C-alpha cells in the first residue's frame, strides 16, 4: 500500500509499505478515505519529536471505512464509516473509566507521559499513522466513533483532533461569561478555539499571529479581533485594550515552533539545543492578567523547554494543559456541526490525493498559497456531499 | 454558518461542557474487554527503563530499531523517561538514522561532483608533470657544457 512516511528532517516520502494486519483480537483495519495534516505533524517533520524513525507513517487525524475486524470486535463490522480519536485507548483502565482516554495506560510501552497515538513517533507507542491507504486500529470498537450519515468526511475529520483540541483549549479557560480571551496562533486549532470561546460565553476574543491571510481568515470565519505581532508588540497592544491588566485567559495554540524570537528559533528549532522555541507560551504568561488562566494545547516535546516560568509564578497564573480526550468531545462536536455553529469545511483550503502529500507538507509548513489545513485522500479526492 | 452573535454562550452551562469533571464518564466504555489480552510479537518501541514499569498489552510495531541508530535507541530505552539521557540518546539516534536518507539524497549530486573533482585533480597532476619536465630540460640545458671551438 502507499503511505506518506518520514525520510529525515524536512522530508516526507511516499513509499510502498506492507498493508497492516490484525495483530490483536480487538484490532480492525481501516481503509482511510481522508486524512489531515495537523500542525503538530510539522514538529515531527522538523525532527523535534524524539524517536521519530525513518519510514514511519505520519497522520493522526483520519476517517474511513472498516475493512476487516479482529475476532473480539463486536461493535463494528466491515463497511462501517468511522472517525478515530487520535489517541489509542483501552476503555477500561484507571484513566479510561474516568474519561481521561488521553492518559490510557495500556497502549504505550515507551513512555509514562502519554497513551499511544497514531503516527506520532515511537515515543507514543510506535503506531503507524493514517496518511496511508490503510491503518491498523487497536481497540477498534471502543475507540472508533460512527460517522452520522448527514456528515461528510470533511465534517468529521477535524473532530478527530483539531476541533476537539481547540474546544478543550477554550473550555480549560473556565469561562463564566463576558471574559476577554486571547488566542495565540491562528492555525486550525487556534481557529476552533476562537469559535469555541464564543460558544462558552467569551465577551471578547482576540487572535494573535503574523500571517496576514490567517488573521484575515480568523476575522471572517471566527469573528474575532486580530493583532499582527510583526506590526505591533502584542503584549503592549493587549494591555492597552484591557485596562493595562491583560486578558482574563490566554490560549497557546502554537507550541514549540513559535516565531517572533529568532535566537530561540536558531537554538531550539534549527539547532535543536533546547526543546524548540516557546515564545507563544512566554507571551501567554505576559498577556494574561494576574490570577488569570493560561490554557496550553500547543505541542511541546521532551526533553526540556526554556520558558519564563518566573512570570507565571509571580502573576499567580493558573496553567491548564493536556491532550484532549477526544472521545468524550465527539458527540458535542457533531451537534455543533449539525447546528451550523461550527462549519469546519472552509478550513480545508487544500484537498489533495495522497501522492501530493510531500508538496502539501511544504505548502502547509511554509504557509504558502493561503493554506489553512490540508486534507489528503488516499483513495481519490472526494467531492463534498453535505451542505448545511 | 451561524454568526457569532447567535452562538455566544450556547455552552455556558457546565453540563454542556464535555470536559467538565462531573460530566466525565465513570466506568468502562461500551465494548470494552478488560483486561485486554496480550498482543503477540515484539513492540517497536521497547519498554522504557523505569523499574516496575509493566509491558502494556497492546503496542505499536511500526519501525523496529535497526542498525547503529537502533543500538543507540536500545541504549536510550534502558533509561527511564524521567531521565535526560533517555531523550538525548533518542534525539541522537534520530540524527544518526537521518544520515542515511541525507546521503541518499546527496548521491545524485555527489557522484558527478566527485568525478569532476577527480578529473580536475588528474589534469592538475598532468600539468605539474609537464612543468617538472620543462624544469628538468632547463636545468639540463644549463648544465650542458658550452661547446669549445
Q: Mind listing the pLDDT tens digit for each residue in B59-102? A: 999 999 999 999 999 999 999 999 999 999 999 999 999 998 98
Residue A388 has pLDDT above 90, yes or no: no
Is the CB of A106 less than 8 angstroms away from the CB of B57? yes
| Number of other residues whose CB lies within 10 A of the CB of residue A138 | 28
| Cα A16 from Cα A33, distance rounded (Å) | 18
Residue B123 has pLDDT above 90, yes or no: no
| Number of other residues whose CB lies within 10 A of the CB of residue A379 | 16
User: What is the separation, in whole angstroms, between the first and last Cα of chain A?
Assistant: 35
Is the CB of A53 less than 8 angstroms away from the CB of B62? yes
Q: Which three three-digit cell numbers place residue B57?
A: 498489552
Rounded mean pLDDT, A243-254: 97
pLDDT of residue A387: 36
Q: Which three three-digit cell numbers place residue A10?
A: 524536512
Is the CB of A112 less than 8 angstroms away from the CB of B87? no
pTM of the model: 0.91
Residue A144 has pLDDT above 80, yes or no: yes
Nearest-neighbour CA in chain B from A75: distance (Å): 6
**Residue of B20, B30, B31, B73 to mutate, interface with A, max A Cβ within 10 Å:** B31
Model confidence band, residue B124 (pLDDT cutoffs 50, 70, 90): confident
**List of E strands, A96-176:** 116-117, 134-137, 145-146
Is the CB of A139 less than 8 angstroms away from the CB of B58? yes
pLDDT of residue B142: 64
Nearest-neighbour CA in chain A from B67: distance (Å): 12
| Cα A280 from Cα A227, distance rounded (Å) | 13
| Chain A residues in contact with B23 (beta carbon < 8 A) | 328
Is the CB of B32 less than 8 angstroms away from the CB of A92? yes
Classify strands A116-117 and A87-88 as parallel, antiparallel or unpaired: antiparallel
Nearest-neighbour CA in chain B from A302: distance (Å): 7
Q: Could you give the angle at the alpha carbon of A105 between the alpha carbons of A156 and A109, nearest 5°?
A: 100
Residue A91 gets the label, from left (phi > 0), alpha (psi -120 to 50) or beta, of left
C-beta separation of A2 from A132 below 8 A: yes
Q: What is the CA radius of gyration of chain B?
A: 36
Tell me the sheet residues that pair with A226.
A207
pLDDT (tens digit per residue) in A115-124:
999 999 999 9
pLDDT of residue B149: 60
Classify strands A2-6 and A12-16 as parallel, antiparallel or unpaired: antiparallel
| Cα A96 from Cα A105, distance rounded (Å) | 8
DSSP H or E run through A351: strand A350-353
Is the CB of A109 less than 8 angstroms away from the CB of B46? yes
Residue A10 has pLDDT above 80, yes or no: yes
- Coil, helix or strand at residue B49: coil
Task: Kindly tell me the number of DSSP H helices and DSSP E strands found in chain A.
Answer: 12, 17
Q: Which three three-digit cell numbers place residue A14?
A: 511516499
Q: Which of A49, A109, A359, A326 is nearest to B77 (CA)?
A: A109
Residue A172 has pLDDT above 60, yes or no: yes
| Cα A72 from Cα B31, distance rounded (Å) | 9
| Chain A residues in contact with B43 (beta carbon < 8 A) | 109-110, 126
Placement of cell 484575515 in the chain: A216
Q: Which three three-digit cell numbers place residue B120?
A: 580536475
Nearest-neighbour CA in chain B from A114: distance (Å): 11
Q: Which three three-digit cell numbers place residue B37?
A: 489480552
pLDDT of residue B143: 63
**Residue of A27, A51, A332, A345 to mutate, interface with B, max B Cβ within 10 Å:** A51
| Chain A residues in contact with B3 (beta carbon < 8 A) | 223
Query: What percent of chain A is modeled with pLDDT above 90?
Result: 91
Question: In sequence order, which residues have a C-beta less than 8 Å from that of residue A176 and are 6 or more positions away?
Answer: A201, B12
Is the CB of B18 less than 8 angstroms away from the CB of A332? yes
Is the CB of A302 less than 8 angstroms away from the CB of B81? yes
Alpha helices in A151-245 (DSSP H): 153-156, 162-171, 188-199, 212-217, 234-241
Nearest-neighbour CA in chain B from A160: distance (Å): 15
Amino acid at each position: 500500500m502507499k503511505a506518506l512516511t518520514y525520510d529525515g528532517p524536512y522530508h516526507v516520502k511516499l513509499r510502498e509499505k506492507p498493508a497492516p494486519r490484525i495483530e490483536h483480537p480487538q484490532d480492525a483495519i481501516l481503509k482511510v478515505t481522508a486524512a489531515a495534516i495537523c500542525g503538530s505533524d510539522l514538529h515531527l517533520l522538523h525532527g523535534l519529536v524524539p524517536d521519530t524513525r525513518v519510514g514511519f507513517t505520519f497522520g493522526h487525524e483520519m476517517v474511513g471505512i472498516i475493512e476487516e475486524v479482529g475476532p473480539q470486535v463486536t461493535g463494528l463490522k466491515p463497511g462501517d464509516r468511522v472517525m478515530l480519536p487520535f489517541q489509542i485507548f483501552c476503555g477500561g483502565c484507571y484513566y479510561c473509566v474516568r474519561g481521561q482516554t488521553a492518559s490510557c495506560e495500556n497502549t504505550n510501552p515507551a513512555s509514562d507521559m502519554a497513551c499511544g497515538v497514531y503516527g506520532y513517533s515511537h515515543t507514543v507507542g510506535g503506531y503507524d499513522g493514517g496518511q496511508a491507504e490503510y491503518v491498523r486500529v487497536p481497540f477498534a470498537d471502543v475507540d472508533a466513533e460512527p460517522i452520522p450519515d448527514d456528515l461528510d468526511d470533511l465534517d468529521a475529520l477535524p473532530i478527530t483532533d483539531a476541533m476537539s483540541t481547540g474546544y478543550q483549549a477554550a473550555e480549560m479557560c473556565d469561562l463564566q461569561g463576558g471574559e476577554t480571551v486571547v488566542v495565540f496562533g491562528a492555525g486550525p486549532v487556534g481557529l476552533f478555539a476562537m469559535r469555541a470561546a464564543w460558544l462558552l460565553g467569551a465577551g471578547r476574543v482576540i487572535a494573535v499571529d503574523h500571517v496576514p491571510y490567517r488573521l484575515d481568515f480568523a476575522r471572517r470565519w471566527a469573528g474575532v479581533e486580530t493583532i499582527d505581532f510583526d506590526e505591533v508588540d502584542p503584549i503592549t497592544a493587549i494591555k492597552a485594550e484591557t485596562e493595562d491588566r491583560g486578558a482574563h485567559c490566554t490560549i497557546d495554540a502554537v507550541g514549540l515552533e513559535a516565531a517572533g524570537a529568532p535566537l530561540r528559533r536558531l537554538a531550539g528549532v534549527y539547532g535543536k539545543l533546547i526543546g524548540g522555541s516557546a515564545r507563544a507560551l512566554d507571551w501567554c504568561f505576559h498577556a494574561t492578567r494576574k490570577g488569570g488562566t493560561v490554557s496550553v494545547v500547543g505541542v511541546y516535546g521532551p526533553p526540556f523547554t526554556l520558558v519564563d516560568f518566573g512570570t507565571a509564578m509571580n502573576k499567580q497564573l493558573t496553567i491548564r494543559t493536556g491532550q484532549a480526550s477526544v472521545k468524550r468531545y465527539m458527540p458535542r462536536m457533531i451537534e455543533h456541526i449539525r447546528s451550523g455553529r461550527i462549519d469546519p469545511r472552509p478550513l480545508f483550503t487544500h484537498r489533495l490525493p495522497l501522492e501530493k502529500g510531500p508538496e502539501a507538507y511544504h505548502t502547509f509548513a511554509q504557509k504558502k498559497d493561503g493554506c489553512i489545513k490540508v486534507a489528503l485522500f488516499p483513495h481519490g479526492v472526494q467531492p463534498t456531499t453535505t451542505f448545511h | 454558518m451561524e454568526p457569532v452573535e447567535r452562538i455566544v454562550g450556547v455552552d455556558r452551562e457546565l453540563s454542556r461542557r464535555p470536559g467538565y469533571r462531573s460530566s466525565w464518564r465513570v466506568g468502562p466504555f461500551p465494548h470494552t474487554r478488560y483486561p485486554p489480552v496480550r498482543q503477540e510479537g515484539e513492540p517497536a518501541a521497547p519498554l522504557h527503563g523505569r523499574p516496575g514499569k509493566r509491558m502494556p498489552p497492546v503496542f505499536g510495531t511500526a519501525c523496529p530499531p535497526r542498525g547503529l541508530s537502533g543500538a543507540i535507541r536500545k541504549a536510550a530505552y534502558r533509561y527511564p523517561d524521567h531521565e535526560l539521557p533517555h531523550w538525548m540518546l533518542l534525539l541522537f539516534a534520530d540524527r544518526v538514522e537521518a544520515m542515511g536518507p541525507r546521503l541518499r539524497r546527496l548521491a545524485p549530486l555527489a557522484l558527478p561532483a566527485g568525478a569532476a573533482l577527480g578529473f580536475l585533480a588528474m589534469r592538475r597532476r598532468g600539468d605539474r608533470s609537464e612543468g617538472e619536465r620543462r624544469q628538468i630540460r632547463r636545468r639540463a640545458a644549463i648544465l650542458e657544457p658550452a661547446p669549445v671551438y
